[in-house]
Amino acid sequence: MRIRVLLAVLAAVSVLDVASAQQRTYVSQTQSVPACRRAGDGVELGCQIAECIGYGLPGTWADEVQVVFDLPQAPHGGPWLVESVAFYMSGTSEHRVVVRQPGSGPAAPPGTEVGEGESVAFIPAYSLWPPADWTYVTLAGAFPPYPYDGHLIVGSGGCFCVGLRLLGGDTIGLASSGTADGRAWSSFGGQWLQDSAALAIHPAVRIGLVDLGSSGTDSQNWGEIKALFQLP
């Protein structure tokens, strides 16, 4: 096990000043992770993550991690319903899924939090590292549509930004960005850092999608989804 020390200097990202760069560390430890488990009409992004190169801790790696996912073309016409999010992590505290505006472009950091204080709460499925599996958090149907009704439904080619704040005792898996979907960001010391661009590191986060263009015979949950989100 090794401790990696990184100088998070993102010269190509205008949101940071080199003079204000801060030292960050993560624990270097290769760990295989379980494969995606979705079937049928569902699509899971982040399935390329087959192993972590280590893990990060709150305070030394990040205060919050976010991944901006670019949603693919929906096979039945879409739009996509973001049904779930999964984290390869351990911890014992109650967390909340943090959904943010995805920013104004690929190099722009995550924006304001959507529905602050109203997001879905969860406790990681495993208290110690390494976890035996991902912690899956159901988003669609787990709460009233407000405030996420307009943000859980995303068109093909759109972006969805999701993550969580790290709390004491947490560990979050870190993968190589070459094996992960989306753009990875960390908030550390009050600044957003694009880890996937500068460090080629990505938090272990996946999202599950359902194509709302599926017919009633293609998706047994179509009627429930239409009623929940008041779709025509």
**Per-residue pLDDT band at 199 (split at 50, 70, 90):** very high
pLDDT value at 225 more than 70? no
Strands 42-45 and 205-211: antiparallel
The confidence score (pLDDT) of residue 147 equals 56
Q: Looking at this protein, which amino acid is placed at residue 136?
A: Y
Q: Could you give the percent of the chain with pLDDT greater than 70?
A: 76
**Per-residue pLDDT band at 231 (split at 50, 70, 90):** very low
DSSP-based three-state secondary structure for 19? helix
Question: Which tens digits make up the pLDDT trace of 162-180?
Answer: 999 999 999 999 999 988 9
Select the more confidently predicted residue: 16 or 136. 136
The confidence score (pLDDT) of residue 31 equals 95
Query: Rounded to 5 degrees, what are φ and ψ at 179?
Result: -120, 25
**Per-residue pLDDT band at 50 (split at 50, 70, 90):** very high
How much is the pTM? 0.83
Distance CA 143, CA 163 (A): 18
The correct CATH number of 32-229 out of 1.10.10, 1.20.120, 2.60.120, 1.10.287 is 2.60.120
- Enter the tokens of residue 232: 């025509």
DSSP-based three-state secondary structure for 222? helix
Query: Rounded to 5 degrees, what are φ and ψ at 45?
Result: -95, 140
Question: Which tens digits make up the pLDDT trace of 71-81?
Answer: 999 998 899 99
DSSP-based three-state secondary structure for 82? strand
Select the more confidently predicted residue: 131 or 11. 131
User: Which range among 37-41, 108-112, 136-140 has the greatest average pLDDT?
Assistant: 108-112
On whether the CB atoms of residues 49 and 208 are closer than 8 A, the answer is no
DSSP-based three-state secondary structure for 44? strand
Distance CA 228, CA 149 (A): 9
Whether the bond between 110 and the residue before it is cis, its omega within 30 degrees of 0, is no
